[in-house]
A = this chain, B = another copy of it.
Amino acid sequence: MSASGFSSRHLAIVGLGLMGGSLALALRQSAETITGVDPSAATREYALARGIVDHATDDLREGVSQADLVILAAPVTLIAEMLRRRIGSYLRSNTLLLDIGSTKQDICDAMANLPVGIHAIGGHPMTGKENSGVTASDGALYQGRPFVLCPTRRTTPAARLRALSMIEALGAVPIEMEAKRHDQVVAAISHLPYLLSSALVATVAKQGETDDAVWQLAAGGFRDMSRLAGQDIKMMSDILSTNTQAVATLLALFRVQLALLEAMLISHDDQHLAESLKPTREARIKWFERYENGVKK
């Protein structure tokens, strides 16, 4: 049992990627037994050999049926599919089911339809790494990072407290909010930036077809602005497809802001351009000072 009071007799983690493997490492001392569920034999073997999990299987039913806590750490569309199709009937009564998918509305809606007696809550830890996969697992991945919790119709007060104590055991910072609000927030700070980064790289690549100098001269500014375009496409298009409405809304709002800057630029209204850039610059600097890496200083 950890200092947070969190414990599990049998923890099951579905999906042993970076996130799932890191959860297993971070909760190693709080769980009597950890079972990992993953379709990849190589991943299962690695996780067993390194002691990341005690048992490993590719069978969802077998993996979760004895668990008192199940964490779904699979891609976001797979999580929703598991919730809709099968997993409710595999679980023991009173099991706590938590997911860590990057969008929450779809998943929390699906959780609401689980059998009565299953406790379920949506989660989204705001953390990650450049490298992915079980080999990148890191027990400190969640430390000091925000961990969003979204209540569902299947979240009892006791289930909520258990999820909070697990987050404490991870060393993460819990932030509770409705699923819809979560999805609007991540559309702004994560999904819109990804689309902008990709459209920027596509624009530069078009120019690069006829002038290699764009690639030669691109430096630190382009490096930062293009990094997100290098993210895993399957993961990102999965995430985007479960947050279409919020992302489309943010794109419309973004176009307004960009058009305002463009109008001042084209009309050579330098004074208003500088004036309107000022609060933006200050907002960025204030955020960076308050929340470096997303955690309040």
B-binding residues in A (CB < 8 A): 126-128, 145-146, 148, 175, 177, 181-182, 184-186, 188-190, 192-208, 211, 213-231, 233-234, 236-237, 240-241, 244, 247-248, 250-251, 253-254, 257-258, 260-262, 265-266, 268, 270, 273-274, 277-281, 283-285, 287-288, 290-294, 296
Secondary structure at the A interface, as helix, strand, loop or mixed, is helix
C-alpha spacing A223/B218, complex, angstroms: 19
C-alpha spacing A135/B191, complex, angstroms: 39
C-alpha spacing A214/B291, complex, angstroms: 11
Cβ contact within 8 Å between B175 and A188:
no
C-alpha spacing A200/B257, complex, angstroms: 8
Cβ contact within 8 Å between B189 and A214:
yes
Cβ contact within 8 Å between B189 and A218:
yes
Cβ contact within 8 Å between B208 and A283:
yes
C-alpha spacing A279/B291, complex, angstroms: 34
Cβ contact within 8 Å between B126 and A294:
no
Q: How far is the CB of A38 from chain B (nearest CB, A)?
A: 23
Closest residue of chain B to A146, judged by CB?
A: B217
Most buried by B among A145, A234, A237: A237
Q: A225-B225, A248-B262 are in contact. Are A205 and B254 (CB under 8 A)?
A: no
Cβ contact within 8 Å between A192 and B185:
no
Cβ contact within 8 Å between A200 and B265:
no
Cβ contact within 8 Å between B221 and A194:
yes
Cβ contact within 8 Å between B217 and A189:
yes
Contact of A254 among B177, B199, B287 (CB under 8 A): B199
C-alpha spacing A128/B217, complex, angstroms: 13
C-alpha spacing A177/B213, complex, angstroms: 9
